[in-house]
Chain A
C-alpha cells in the first residue's frame, strides 16, 4: 500500500527566504506526482505535476523535483512571500487513478 510522508509538518520563515518542502513515498511504481496548495478551509489548487519520466517542473518561483527510484520529491519556493502561506500537499498517482496524499506541510511566511 502506497504511503506518502511530508516533512516538515509545519514551517515558519521570514519573508524573502528560500525554502524546501520534502515528500517521500514508499512505492516507486507511480505515474506522476502532484504538488497542491490548500488555503484554510478551502479546496485544492494544483501547483505542479511531474510525470514519472520527468526529473523536475518549474512554475514561477516554484520548482519541484522527482527522484522516483529513491521515492522522493522536493518543492522549492524561492523568495517566499506572505501570500505563500498555506498548506502544501504532495500526492502520488499509482494504480488506476488512485491518488495518495501526504498530510501536508503548513507554511507560514511572516512579513
Chain B
C-alpha cells in the first residue's frame, strides 16, 4: 500500500491568512483526493487533484477558497485561503490504488484558526 506523508501535522493560524498543506506519496498514483473533517463530523470530499489539469471540486467547495496543485504523480498541495474560525478542521489527503478501488489516507493536518 502507498505511504502518504502529510505536512504540517497541525497548525494554528490567524484569521485572514492562508495555510498550504503538502501531501507526498512514495509511489506514483493517478488519483489523489483532499477531504475535510469538521469537529464532530465525518469526512467530506473537497476535491480530486488531477495531475496536469485543474482539480475537480465537489459541490460547496470552490477553487478560490481551496486552490490545489498537482505538479506530478507523487505530490499535491491544498491551500485554505482567507482563513476564518469555521475553517478549523482536520484536512486529509488520500490516494487511490487498485484501479481506484482502495483509498489510503495520510495522517491529516489539524488546523485551528483564531
**Chain A interface (Cβ within 8 Å of chain B)?**
31-32, 34, 36, 41-44, 46, 49, 51, 89, 91, 93, 96-99, 101-104
Contacts and interface: CB of A to CB of B under 8 A. Distances in A.
A42 B91 CA distance: 10
Given A43-B6, A43-B108, A96-B100, 9 more contacts: A31-B101, A34-B103, A43-B105, A93-B101, A97-B33, A97-B48, A98-B45, A99-B103, A101-B44
Nearest to B109: A43
B49 to A, nearest CB: 12
Given A41-B90, A43-B92, A96-B100, A101 B105 contact: no
Interface band, chain B: 20 to 34
A102 B42 contact: yes
A32 B101 contact: yes
Contacts of A31: 101
Contact of A41 (B102, B104, B110): B110
Given A43-B105, A46-B104, A103 B90 contact: no
| Among all A-B residue pairs, the 3 with the closest Cβ atoms | A97-B100, A43-B107, A43-B108
Contact of A99 (B6, B10, B45, B90): B45
B75 to A, nearest CB: 18
Interface of B: 6, 10, 31, 33, 41-45, 48, 90, 92, 94, 96, 100-108, 110
Contacts of B33: 97, 99
A45 to B, nearest CB: 8
Contacts of A98: 45
Contacts of A93: 101, 103
A97 B30 CA distance: 11
Nearest to B104: A46
B9 to A, nearest CB: 9
Contacts of A32: 101-102
Nearest to B92: A43
